[in-house]
Structure 1
């Protein structure tokens, strides 16, 4: 897959799946604008791509801020003069007992995991229509099934799936493509920082775990890159499970 001359905005790009996705596009010659709150880590990601055929520039983004979302799209367009691909990857999963969730926590979870993707799509679509570009949204297996102690996260990821389908229909008569990836458990830095309630039932939590174990971020980034590529020119409105077969049965 080649992305030579293509401008790609990747959110949540400072580590894990986002960083792997940046490297995948840069390896294909893409012009990547990597966005995240952590500028130091973004600089490290950009440095790791220095010997790849593509180019990586980076800038700040708090996806919980609609203004930041619009600014990130504008920055990506300013950086390369166009926008061909938007990858909505930013998000975070926090486990909480539903009855303990505060109003602020609910609002923050929805803003981070759903609303930000909407505002980024909203800002990016006019540019993507000009380039016959595409959007790849990153949801989760929690976007198609329930997950214990994750009411806000699960609701948001179901929302990402719905957002993908709604945009796919709305822009059916245009060249714009919109697809979604639903990863299962990945071995990323976020895994090490996730905490669960002290009295959590681990049998319920592990219901979402694939029998084949954790995936690498690179393996999921490869699917994102495929959906964003010209090789997937006929793939539109799809919800791609990348979960080691967990939901096959």
Structure 2
């Protein structure tokens, strides 16, 4: 494990969504290694319990598509650890579909988990983050920077997440807290490895999302996220970091 540094987050409390696997788990591990108290959020109790062990951790299984659950997460963290210094919105979902076949439920679910949840969590956490001059890192995607075939809802949500990041960064520019976003490319996470493709896709379009250097280890992206959570990034606010193994440079 790399990127955290012993003592880097001593005395800080972090909420990390999607913490039971993939990128969220990698971020949680690095923050814990750096001395943070981590409150992890996911949907699977068993996986959360395995991913977050130790006296300086706590977790809550929650459906973040429900705004009330987002408020509950923040309240539970404050009750357990006394406040919040860091919010990492890493939970996400992506299923490829032909646009004409996207149902109302598909559309609302993709926006709910990829855009609404970061907003509702941020809204609930902001009073605590302002009190401690904390930070928010929103995990978007390279899909927030370009179009991707069969991903209309996902792209719309991730583009929206960058807009949310920039709007909040401007609004709180003079308040001390820092709000940034990271746009990862493909990683060896369960979400990527378990992609469901639409019927009869054009694979030349699908392959446009691939980086020549291949998939990244989630820890490589987590390194950048934990940097943005740290004092080393004290001058970074309203920024969007692309971490994609060179995909967007091609």
Q: Secondary structure at the match of 2:25?
A: helix
Distance across 2 between alignment mates of 1:10 and 1:216:
18
> SS of the counterpart of 2:248?
coil
20, 24, 31: which is aligned to 2:26? Answer: 20
Equivalent residues in 2 for 1:98-109 (5 A)?
98-109=99-110
Deviation at 1:145, TM superposition (A): 0.5
* Cα deviation, residue 210, structure 1: 0.7
Counterpart position of 2:73? 72
How big is the shift at 1:248?
2.0
Match of residue 238 from structure 1: 239
Structural mapping, 1:10-159, within 5 Å: 10-47=16-53, 50=54, 55-159=56-160
Residue 192 (1) aligns with residue 159 (2): no
Taking the aligned partners of 2:105 and 2:48, their CA distance within structure 1 comes to 28
Question: What is aligned with 2:225?
Answer: 224
CA RMSD of aligned residues (A): 1.0
Alignment: residue pair count: 244
2:14 pairs with 1:8: yes
Q: Distance in 1 between matches of 2:85 and 2:169?
A: 16
| TM-aligned CA deviation for residue 192 of structure 1 | 2.7
Contact 2:181 2:240 survives alignment (8 Å): yes
* TM-score (norm. length: structure 1): 0.96
Q: C-alpha separation between the residues in 2 aligned to 1:248 and 1:194?
A: 24
Structure 1: gaps of 5 or more residues? none
Unmatched segments (≥5 aa) in structure 2: none
- Measure, in 2, the Cα distance between the counterparts of 1:178 and 1:78: 24
Q: Give the CA deviation at 1:78.
A: 1.1
TM-score, normalised to structure 2's length? Answer: 0.96
Counterpart of 1:176 in structure 2 is 177
User: What secondary structure is seen at the aligned counterpart in 1 of 2:249?
Assistant: coil
Partner of 1:203: 204
Partner Cα distance (1:179, 1:192) in 2? 27
